[in-house]
Structure 1
Amino acid sequence: MITGIEHTGIMVSNMENSIKFYTEVLGLDLLDRFDHTSVPVELAFLGVEGKVLVELIAGYTGPVTNEGKVHHIAFSVKNIEEQYELLQKKDVVMKDKEITELPNGKYFFFYGPDEESLEFFESK
């Protein structure tokens, strides 16, 4: 039986740049990092409060398109307007030029270092 989502895996071209983005810009913690020797790829696991949210995968040699990485990963946030301004100040490339409001909350999309599509979402 499914109990929740474990994490989202994202193919990255440069592990150091991606770890820096996800920790310094988005504020996730680097929880673990190691080589997966049977594939071989390098893996890094990032999250909050000890819970893994994102797995970064570097060194994969198979074909991967931007869309094939993941469609998007959405992070829950508080004070979405403040988060939007903070990412702009950190020169993050914004996909959405404004925050969109839905009946269940507000969101906006932006890009990670490998052009992966990321979302911040604030529930009502």
Structure 2
Amino acid sequence: MIKGLYETHVQVSNLEDSIQFYTEVLGLKLAHRDENRPIAFLWIGKDKEFMLGLWEQKENLQTRHFAFSCSKEDILNYSVDFLKKKDLKPYNFLRDGIDKPMVFAWMPALAIYFNDPDGNQLEFISILEGEGKPQLGVVSYEEWMKH
């Protein structure tokens, strides 16, 4: 019955700033802004394909994590420069100071992380072809390609 994940929602401290970040910096499209509550909905990808909800929360902000599906080529060749040009700090899952994508070998999937202005942990991820190799843990893409 379940075919996928359609939407997710995050709390943000300033709705206007967050709409600007997600639309102008990341390229999402504003779908609807609720005039009665501090909430906005944005399309991810094509209209009505996937949705992100932004809920303004002035106190007790609870940050979350979610991932944007991307191509392997975009993550390898474009993601780090894209984030840096937008004044965002890319980091890998290990948070070891290396700003290169890493592979979760059990899946396998290639990923790079960054944060929104409120500290929500965002990720660009691409599922890789082939069988997972959980024994490898989390490795660089170069290391993954050796196995």
TM range (shorter): 0.7 to 0.9
1:86 aligns to what SS in structure 2? helix
Name the Cα RMSD after superposition.
1.9
User: Which residue is equivalent to 1:102?
Assistant: 104
CA shift, 1:105, in A, is 2.5
Q: Assess, with a 3 A threshold, how the Cα gap between structure 1 residues 65 and 105 changes in structure 2: closer, same or farther.
A: closer
What's the TM-score, normalizing by structure 2?
0.69
Higher relative contact order (CA 8 A, sep 6+): 1
CA distance in 2 between counterparts of 1:44 and 1:89 reads 26
Task: Structure 2: state its 5+ residue gaps.
Answer: 93-98, 129-147
2:38 aligns to what SS in structure 1? strand
2:18 aligns to what SS in structure 1? helix
User: Which residue is equivalent to 1:119?
Assistant: 123
1:27 aligns to what SS in structure 2? coil
CA distance in 1 between counterparts of 2:60 and 2:109 reads 36
- Match for 1:91: what amino acid? D
CA distance in 2 between counterparts of 1:21 and 1:63 reads 21
Contact 2:13 2:61 in 1 (8 A): no
Query: Which structure is higher in strand share?
Result: 1
Identity within the alignment, %: 34
Q: Give the number of the structure whose alpha-carbon radius of gyration is greater.
A: 2
What's the TM-score, normalizing by structure 1?
0.80
Contact 2:90 2:113 in 1 (8 A): yes
Q: Assess, with a 3 A threshold, how the Cα gap between structure 1 residues 102 and 61 changes in structure 2: closer, same or farther.
A: closer
Poorly superposed stretches of 4+, deviation over 4 Å: none
Matched residues, number: 115
